[in-house]
Amino acid sequence: MERHDLNRMFDALAPTPEQEQAGLDRLLQTERKVRPMKKLKKLTVIGIAAALMVISCAAAVVTGIDQRLLDYFGASPKQAELLLPGAVPVDVTVEDNGAALHISQVLMDRYTILLLADFTAPEGTVLDMDEGNDGINRGFGGIEWSMPQLLDPAGQAIDLNQSWAWHTEVLDDGDPLDNHLTLLMRMELEEGIQPEWNISGLALRGEDLVRFDPDLKRYVTVYAGDWSCQFPVTWQDMGRIIPVNQVAGQVDGVDISVTKCYLSPMTLQIQLERAVPVSLRSDNAEPGAYGRWISAINADRVTLTTKDGQSILLAELGGTASDQDSSTMFQLKQITSLEQLQTLTLRVGDGSVDIPLEGLIPAE
């Protein structure tokens, strides 16, 4: 069965019958609808090569992580050193309609790409992004319109060919109703950056700053304009793959195996597989089976333990699921050296499995 995009947040409770049916209806669709996106002017090979030379020189000078990213992760200067392999200094400013977007840093591992940017409108402008409402989408043009593209050395978009999630978070800058926003844009890839991808740039679509209005049930424009841009990035994976093929427990009498995990100082990704596919039809003889399957693991059922016995707290980012396999992504609430980790424990149903974390292999 074809995999479909399901940006879902697992929780310990199974969904209501109405929620479950809505999810199943989406899974049973045979076509994936992709909103057409405005094409950006591509960078030439020479242009990207020259820009990469500039960024390499900048990297030699700018070796730190932006303090706002450190505050976001709650990281100390020592912990910041663990993120340096995935940090790319950027200094790109785009102006339109009196406002400026300045992108200052990209932070990447295999499954997560973070972009830090400042958006500044003219003095006296109120940029109301409804920051107190955690449950709405916000950013440039909505989710699909603003999905960035990874570029190859020729400036061509790399075909992701996988499920993804993309959202924008407004970081607290002390005044939610002034003319300035600090934006943290996050891209999550279900299958991760592939070894054959030769990533040399990133294209951001920045048309119209919007937020979703739950009362109007539509996106509203906070500030109109187009701040789309392209810039070079280089990628070095700071994580490791954990090869696993063990049964972790059962859901509804069906074995659930852990097939693979990935760890970086900031990300944990876990892939599960059912021995028997779950039925996705409404006449399923086991009501709620799909909900129990996608809720097989969550942050309360996963434990990362260090060599000194400390447990690293996790925040669930979401994931995707089909009738037989699923992937779930977590953010480590404490930036952690992989060398300090000892065990990953997963609890599925009444079972559990301890996965040793010594001798992690490079994620290639």
Rounded CA gap, 217 and 361, in Å? 47
Q: Which residues contact 161 (CB under 8 A, 6 or more apart)?
A: none
Tell me the C-alpha distance between 364 and 173, whole Å: 38
50-77: per-residue pLDDT in tens? 444 444 333 333 447 999 999 999 999 9
Q: Phi first, then psi: what are they for 56, rounded to 5°?
A: -65, -40
pLDDT at residue 109, as a whole number = 95
Instruction: Quickly state the pLDDT bin for 283 (edges 50, 70, 90).
Output: low
Partners of 169 in beta bridges: 184
Tell me, what's the pLDDT at 284? 58
pLDDT tens digits, residue range 141-170? 866 667 789 999 999 999 988 888 888 999
Q: Is the pLDDT of residue 30 over 60?
A: no
Q: What is the mean pLDDT of the chain?
A: 82
pLDDT at 21 over 90: no
Find residue 270's DSSP bridge partners: 261, 328
pTM for the full predicted model: 0.79
Q: What is the pLDDT of residue 148?
A: 87
- Over residues 111-118, mean pLDDT: 96
Residue 214 above 50 pLDDT? yes
Of the candidates 188, 193, 196, 199, the one whose C-alpha atom is nearest the C-alpha of residue 327 is 188
Q: How far apart are the first and last CA of the chain?
A: 27
Domains and CATH numbers, the chain: 17-27+239-362 (2.60.40), 45-232 (2.60.40.1630)
Q: 1 or 88: which carries more pLDDT confidence?
A: 88
- The rounded percent of the chain whose pLDDT value lies above 70 is 78
Distance CA 175, CA 163 (A): 35
| DSSP SS3 for 284 | coil
Give the pLDDT of residue 54.
44
pLDDT for 10 beyond 90: no
* Residue burial 31-41, b: 16+ Cβ < 10 Å; e: rest: eeeeeeeeebe
